[in-house]
Amino acid sequence: APFFTDLSMKWFYKANFKQQIPEYLGNFISDICSQHKMKNPKIGIITDGGPNAFTYGHTKNDARIILTSGMFDILTPEEIKAVVAHEIGHAVHYDMALMTMAQLVPLILYYIYEVFIESVDGDEDSSKLAVIGIVAYVFYIISQYIILWLSRTREYYADEFSYQTTKNPNAMQTALIKVGFGLSIATSS
C-alpha cells in the first residue's frame, strides 16, 4: 500500500516529500502528466549519494517517485528528465498493479505446494496430494521465470515511454551508464 510505503520511506530512508524539486523538473512532470491525464506523482527525495530512482503506488493517479540526491549530483537535467519519464512510464502503463497481480501467481502456487506437501502422511491418498504439491512447485518455478521476463518487458516499455516523451534516447542511455557507474562507486566506498 502506498501509504505504508510512504511511512517506511520517511522512517527508514528519511525521504522528504516536501523538498522542492528543480523548476525544470517540476514543469516537465506537469507537462507529461497533463498529456496523459494523470495527477502529478508525489516526489520524494532521499539524501543518498548513490544514484537511484523508483516508482510505487496502485495506479497512475497515486504514483510516487523516489529520487536520491545522488541523481542530481551526477546527471544532467536532460538525463534526470529521461529517468523521471521512465518512472512515470511505469505509472502510465500500470506496471505497479500489473506486477503485483502477476507476483500473486507464484505466491499462490508456493502456498499450494506447502499445503499439499505438509498433508503427506504415508498412505496412498496422501501420495496423490504429494503429486499435486510437486506439480504446483514445478509451476511455481516456471512462474518465477515468467515474472522475470515480464519485469524486463515492463522496463523496456518504460524506456520506450522515456524516449517517446523526451525525444532524447541518448539522455536515457548516458543516464543508465552514469547510474550504473555511480552505484558501483557508491557500493565500493
Active site residue 78: no
Q: Which residues contact 53 (CB under 8 A, 6 or more apart)?
A: 65, 66, 67, 68, 71, 83, 84, 86, 87
Question: Which stretches within 37-168 are classed as H helix?
Answer: 69-74, 77-92, 95-118, 124-166
Q: 23, 87, 118, 160: which one is catalytic? A: 87
The CB density around residue 44, as the number of other CB atoms within 10 Å, is 23
| 3-state secondary structure (DSSP) of residue 16 | strand
User: Which amino acids are annotated catalytic?
Assistant: 87
